[in-house]
Structure 1
Amino acid sequence: MKNKHTSRRSFVKMTTLSTVGISIIPRHVMGKGFIAPSDKLNIAVIGGGGKGYSDAVNAWNNGASNIAAICDVDWNQASRAFEKFPNAKKYKDFRKVLDEVKDIDAITVSTPDHTHAVIAMTAIKLGKHVYVQKPLTHNIYEARMLTEAANKYKVVTQMGNQGASSKGVKQMISWFNEGLIGKVNKVHVWTNRPVWPQGIATPTDKPEMLDGLDWDTWIGPAKMVDYHPLYHPFKWRGWWNFGTGALGDMACHLIDPPYRVLGLGYPTEVESSVGAVFKRDWSPEYFPESCPVSSRTQLTFPASDKNPTSLKMTWTDGGLRPFHPDLIPADHPIGDENSSNGVIMIGEKGIMTCGTYARNPKIYFNNGGVLIPAAAVNEDTSLPENGHQVAWVEACKEGFKKDKHNALTSSFDYAGPLTEAILMGNLAIRSYDLREKAGNGFEYPGRKKLLWDGTSMRVTNFEPANQFVKREYREGWSL
C-alpha cells in the first residue's frame, strides 16, 4: 500500500490505468481460484508461537494472503510458524519489522497482554491495519487510546475474540430483538480459568536464560524482572505485570454475547471479592503481583437503547460458578456441556444461555418451554475462527470505510469499549487489598464498591484504584 488512505486494489487499478506498457491481468483470465499477487495482503505476524501460529494460518487462508514476516522474541516458540511459512522474513523485534519490511499492509498481534498496545499503536501510526488478540490491551487507558487512534489513522481493526462472528451470537441477537425473553436485569458469566498458577509468591531464584530468548524485548514496556519459567512462555497470564488474569483471558469471549446482545456500554459500578490463600499458621497471605486464585465480580450497567433497564452482571472464575436456575432442568448443563464456562441472561419471560464462543444457545421460557436453534447453529464448531480473520483481511484489502469497518464484529470501535468494561473488573480485583488512610489515620482495605466515570476513565470514590487505569512504561517505551 503506497499510502494509508489507498486500498491495495484501488492502487493497482490506478497503476494499470496510468502505466504505459504494463498491465495487471485480472484473476478471471488466469483461471478459477487464481489469486493475483496484487490482490494479496502482505501481513507481518507479531508473536508466532501458540495462538500466534493459528492467527497466522487463519490470516494466510490457504494462500489468499502473504505472510511476509514473522516476529517472535523466542524463535523456539515460533519454529512451527517458520516451518509453515519458510519464505517469511524472521525477526525478534517488532520495531525492526515495521522499519525494514516496507511493503507490509497489516499485522497480527498475538503476544502477551502487556505488549499488545505498544505494538498495535506503532503499526497504526504507520497506517498498518491491525488484528490484535484478546484482551485488546493490558489496561483501560490503552484500550481508549487504540480505539481513538484507529479512527484517527483510518486503519482496519479487529480483536481476536472469534466467537463474536459465530452463528450462535447472531442467533441470540435475533431472539432478543424479537423480544423472546423481554428486558434483562441479571446476567451471570463464569469460567473455569485460571489453568495456570495464580495466587503465588513472586519467584526469587534466577534460572538460566532460555537459549536465544530476547528477554528485554519480551519485557517491553513492563517493569523489568529477571527471566523465570513462571512468566514465559505461558504462565505470564497470572501476573499483573504482564497479564490480566482469568477475567482478561476469557471475558472477551464470554462477556461478549451479553454485551453485544443487550447493547451495553460503560459500567457505572464494580465490586469484587477474591479467594484467599493462607499460610501454615492460617493467617491470610497476600501476593500483590500475582492475580488471585479465584474471584467474584459484579458490574452494574445502565439501561441501553436495546435493554431499557439497568442490570447487574456477575462474573466468577477459579472454579466458581452460579447456581443452577430453577427454570433450567437439573439434568441440563448450563453454559458448556460440562458447565465449566458459560453465560446466563435472566429476562422477564425466560432465560437465555450459551457456552463458550456462544455455542449451544438456548432459551428456557417461564412457561416451561425450551427453544433450541436449528442444527446449523449448533454444528458451527469451527468457532468460526478463520471467518473472523478472513473478514478482517477482506476489509483491509478494501481499505478503511467507516460503515464497512463497523460491520466487522470486533473492530476497535466495539472491542475497545468492551475491553474497558471487562478491565473495570480488574480495577476492583486489584484494589481489594489496597489500604487507604481515613481521617483518623486508620488504614482500611479497598473492599468496597467502586463508582466509575467511564467518559473520564476514573474511579470517583476510591482514589487508590486509579493507579490501575494505566501503567507507567519502562524507560525507552511509549504508547
Structure 2
Amino acid sequence: MNDRSLPRRRFVASSLLGAATLVPRRVLGGAGEVPPSEKIRLAHIGMGTQGFRELKALLDHPAIEITAVCDPNADSNDYLEWGAGEIRSLIGRLVGDPNWRTAEGCPGGREVGRFVVETYYSNQRGKPFRGCRAYADFRELLEKETDLDAVKVMTPDHLHAAVAIAAMDRGKHVMMHKPLANRMAELRKVLAKTAATGAATHLLAYGAGLGNARIAAAVKGGVIGRLREIHNWSNRPVWPQYAEIPRDRPPIPPGFQWDLWLGPAVDRPYHPWYTHTVFRGWYDFGGGSMADMGIYSLWPVFERLGLGPAVIADGWGTHLCTTEKTVSRVIHNDYSYPAACTFRFRFAAGSGGDGVELWWYDGGMKPRLPETLDAAGVRPAPEGILFVGEGGAILADFSGQKPILFAEGKQTPLEQVLGEEFARAASDRGSHLDLWVNACRGGEASPGNFLAASAVSQTVNLGTIALRSGSRVEYDPESGRLLSPGGAEHRLTREYRPGWEL
C-alpha cells in the first residue's frame, strides 16, 4: 500500500519529506506554495464579529484552506461592534471593496462569511474560487464535510464544548476561542476527549499574556520574596449587562435559526438581548468577564508558577433594585452576571499556590493597594495585575506600561532589575496558527493546547459557581466534584434541551 492510497487526513499529518514524488503533479502547487493536497481543510464555525476580526490570518496562511463556514444566522446587520463601521470596513478591505455595504449596520452570518472567503481567495489566486460551503447546523457540517481536517470554533461560549467534542469524535483537530466551556462538567469532558483522541488543539488565549509570564517568572525567582497575593482586574464588561429577563417577544429575524443558536441551552423565546456579542453576560450563554479576559492574563501566570486548579472560591457581585407598588426590593438574579464582581481563589498545598490568594475584579472594581504603593500615589489603570510578596510588590497595567517593582522603598522598572534575564523569562514560540498547524501535521503539541489550559479554565468556572451559589465553594479537581456547599452540585453542569446532552 503506497502513500497515495492513504486517506487524505493521514497524508496531511505525515511528513512533508518526499511529497513531490508521492503526489501527482496535478495536485501540486506552484513553486514555494503548499500543494492543495497538503493544505489543512478548515471549517470556520461561528461567523460573528470576532470571527471576522481573526479571519485574515486564516485566509493568508499557506497551509490552511477554509472550505466551509457555519452559523445559525444567514446574513444580517444587527451585531454589536466596538466602533462604528469597524466590521464593515474590515470586510471591505478583505474583499477589496471599500464601499461594501456602507449604508448598513454591523454585518455577520454564514452567507457573509462564505462571500468573504470566496472573494478573498478569488482575488488572491487571480481566478474564481467557489469552494466554500455554508451551513446553519455544525452537526450537518461535520456529517457532510467528510474530507475536513479541522475546525475553528468561534461560537458563543455555551456551544464551545458541544462543537469541540463533536468535531473530535469525528477525528477533527480543533482551534477554539476562549473559554473551553462555560460549565465545569463540559470543560472536563472537553479535556477528556482531547486526551482520548489525541486531537491537535489550540486555545486562542495562549500567548497574549507574555508580559505576565515574564513577571511570574521573576516572582518565582524570588524578586519579591514569598508570594502572598495576585490581583488581576479588568474594565469588562464592555457589553450590556441585563439585570432582568426580557418580557417582550420580538419576532425571530428572517434567516436566523434560533433553535440552533440555543443549542444545548434550555428553550426560551428569542430576544436580541441574548445574541450577537451580548451573550457573554448571561450564565446560560457566556462565561462573564473573567472567561473573556482572565484566561488571557492569568494562563501564563498559572503556567509559570505551576499553579493547579483552585480548590476554594468565593464570589461577590453587585445587585440592582426595582420597585413594585411603591416598595423597593433587590432583584434576585440567577440568570445574568452582575455589573461588577470580585472572586477570591485559594489553592491546594503542594500545587504551586500554597498560601497564595488569587483575586479577580471586573466592572470597574480594583484591589486595595499595599501601603507602599498607596503612599507613592499609585492609582490602578483600568486593567492590570499586581503581585504582592513578603519582600515587595510588582504592578503592571495593560496599556503598555512596563511593570514596576516596589521594594526597599524604591520604584524600579522590573526590566532594569533583571536585565537580560527578564527578556529570557518568556519567549513567543511562534504564531497561533503556525503552532497549531505544526501539531495538526503530527508535530509537537501546541503549548496552547486544551490540556495546558486545564488549571486556569477550571478556576474560571469555579468562580462562577461560587458567585451563583452565594457562598464559598470547595472543589476536588481529581474527581470534578464539589465538596461544599451541599446542594450546589447542579452548578457544575446545565439543564440540557432534549437531543443536546453531552
1:385–1:136 CA distance, 2 compared to 1 (3 A): farther
Q: Once the 2 structures are TM-superposed, how far is the Cα of residue 331 of structure 1 from its aligned partner?
A: 5.3
1:18–1:429 CA distance, 2 compared to 1 (3 A): same
- Give the corresponding residue for 2:180: 136
- Give the corresponding residue for 1:414: 452
* Contact kept? 2:63, 2:437, Cα under 8 Å: no
Please say if 1:344 is aligned against 2:386. Answer: yes
Q: Secondary structure at the match of 1:233?
A: coil
Q: Secondary structure at the match of 1:202?
A: coil
Residue number among 193, 212, 220 corresponding to 2:263 in the alignment: 220
- Give the corresponding residue for 1:67: 66
- Give the corresponding residue for 1:107: 151
Question: 105-114 vs 360-369, which deviates more?
Answer: 360-369
Counterpart amino acid of residue 253 in structure 1: Y
* Contact kept? 2:20, 2:28, Cα under 8 Å: no
Q: Secondary structure at the match of 1:85?
A: helix
Indicate the percent of aligned positions where both proteins have the same amino acid.
Answer: 27
Residue number among 434, 458, 467 corresponding to 2:481 in the alignment: 458
Distance (whole Å) between structure 2 residues aligned to residue 356 and residue 6 of structure 1: 42
* Contact kept? 2:385, 2:395, Cα under 8 Å: yes
* Contact kept? 2:48, 2:276, Cα under 8 Å: no
Distance (whole Å) between structure 1 residues aligned to residue 258 and residue 244 of structure 2: 21
Where do 1:421-460 residues align within 5 Å?
421-432=459-470, 448-460=471-483
Instruction: Give deviations 1:453-474, integer Å, cap 9, x for gaps.
Output: 2212222221222111011321
Distance (whole Å) between structure 2 residues aligned to residue 378 and residue 358 of structure 1: 16
Question: 215-224 vs 50-59, which deviates more?
Answer: 50-59
With CA pairs under 8 Å and 6+ residues apart, which has the higher RCO, 1 or 2? 1
Question: 233-242 vs 76-85, which deviates more?
Answer: 76-85
- Give the corresponding residue for 2:82: none
1:34–1:17 CA distance, 2 compared to 1 (3 A): closer
1:358–1:412 CA distance, 2 compared to 1 (3 A): farther
* Contact kept? 1:274, 1:429, Cα under 8 Å: yes
- Give the corresponding residue for 1:302: 348
- Give the corresponding residue for 1:312: 357
Where do 1:31-46 residues align within 5 Å?
31=31, 33-46=32-45
Aligned length: 444
Distance (whole Å) between structure 2 residues aligned to residue 85 and residue 25 of structure 1: 21
Q: Once the 2 structures are TM-superposed, how far is the Cα of residue 167 of structure 1 from its aligned partner?
A: 3.8
> Normalising by structure 1, what TM-score?
0.83
Distance (whole Å) between structure 2 residues aligned to residue 327 and residue 372 of structure 1: 16
Structural RMSD (CA): 3.2
- Give the corresponding residue for 2:12: 8
Counterpart amino acid of residue 108 in structure 1: K
- Give the corresponding residue for 1:437: none
- Give the corresponding residue for 1:81: 113
- Give the corresponding residue for 1:97: 141
Distance (whole Å) between structure 2 residues aligned to residue 409 and residue 354 of structure 1: 24
* Contact kept? 1:187, 1:343, Cα under 8 Å: yes
Question: 367-376 vs 341-350, which deviates more?
Answer: 367-376
Q: Once the 2 structures are TM-superposed, how far is the Cα of residue 303 of structure 1 from its aligned partner?
A: 4.2
1:189–1:165 CA distance, 2 compared to 1 (3 A): closer
Q: Secondary structure at the match of 1:217?
A: helix
Please say if 1:370 is aligned against 2:412. Answer: yes
Q: Secondary structure at the match of 2:456?
A: helix
Counterpart amino acid of residue 425 in structure 1: G
Distance (whole Å) between structure 2 residues aligned to residue 45 and residue 185 of structure 1: 43
Where do 1:111-130 residues align within 5 Å?
111-130=155-174
- Give the corresponding residue for 1:50: 49
Residue number among 354, 358, 374 corresponding to 2:396 in the alignment: 354
Q: Once the 2 structures are TM-superposed, how far is the Cα of residue 48 of structure 1 from its aligned partner?
A: 1.5
Where do 1:380-419 residues align within 5 Å?
387-397=431-441, 399=442, 404-405=444-445, 408-419=446-457
* Contact kept? 1:129, 1:157, Cα under 8 Å: yes
* Contact kept? 1:43, 1:106, Cα under 8 Å: yes
Question: 131-140 vs 349-358, which deviates more?
Answer: 349-358
Where do 1:182-193 residues align within 5 Å?
182-193=225-236
Q: Once the 2 structures are TM-superposed, how far is the Cα of residue 320 of structure 1 from its aligned partner?
A: 0.8
Q: Once the 2 structures are TM-superposed, how far is the Cα of residue 234 of structure 1 from its aligned partner?
A: 1.9
Counterpart amino acid of residue 449 in structure 2: S
- Give the corresponding residue for 1:207: 250
Distance (whole Å) between structure 1 residues aligned to residue 358 and residue 8 of structure 2: 40
Q: Secondary structure at the match of 1:186?
A: strand
Structure 2 unmatched runs, 5+: 76-107, 119-129
- Give the corresponding residue for 1:442: none
Distance (whole Å) between structure 2 residues aligned to residue 333 and residue 477 of structure 1: 48
* Contact kept? 2:43, 2:150, Cα under 8 Å: yes
Q: Secondary structure at the match of 1:427?
A: helix
Distance (whole Å) between structure 2 residues aligned to residue 185 and residue 367 of structure 1: 19
1:476–1:346 CA distance, 2 compared to 1 (3 A): same
Q: Once the 2 structures are TM-superposed, how far is the Cα of residue 128 of structure 1 from its aligned partner?
A: 0.6
Q: Once the 2 structures are TM-superposed, how far is the Cα of residue 143 of structure 1 from its aligned partner?
A: 1.0
Distance (whole Å) between structure 2 residues aligned to residue 52 and residue 290 of structure 1: 24
Distance (whole Å) between structure 1 residues aligned to residue 159 and residue 72 of structure 2: 12
Distance (whole Å) between structure 2 residues aligned to residue 26 and residue 97 of structure 1: 27
Instruction: Give deviations 1:240-280, integer Å, cap 9, x for gaps.
Output: 12112223222212322432232111212111222121123
Instruction: Give deviations 1:350-372, integer Å, cap 9, x for gaps.
Output: 32333449974443334414134
> Normalising by structure 2, what TM-score?
0.80
Distance (whole Å) between structure 1 residues aligned to residue 485 and residue 219 of structure 2: 36
Distance (whole Å) between structure 2 residues aligned to residue 215 and residue 93 of structure 1: 11
- Give the corresponding residue for 1:469: 492
Distance (whole Å) between structure 2 residues aligned to residue 47 and residue 228 of structure 1: 19
1:194–1:23 CA distance, 2 compared to 1 (3 A): same
Distance (whole Å) between structure 1 residues aligned to residue 391 and residue 293 of structure 2: 28
- Give the corresponding residue for 1:198: 241
Q: Secondary structure at the match of 1:255?
A: helix
Question: 349-358 vs 175-184, which deviates more?
Answer: 349-358
Where do 1:223-242 residues align within 5 Å?
223-242=266-285
Question: 349-358 vs 221-230, which deviates more?
Answer: 349-358
Q: Once the 2 structures are TM-superposed, how far is the Cα of residue 130 of structure 1 from its aligned partner?
A: 0.4
Q: Secondary structure at the match of 1:73?
A: coil
Distance (whole Å) between structure 2 residues aligned to residue 166 and residue 196 of structure 1: 22
* Contact kept? 1:4, 1:128, Cα under 8 Å: no
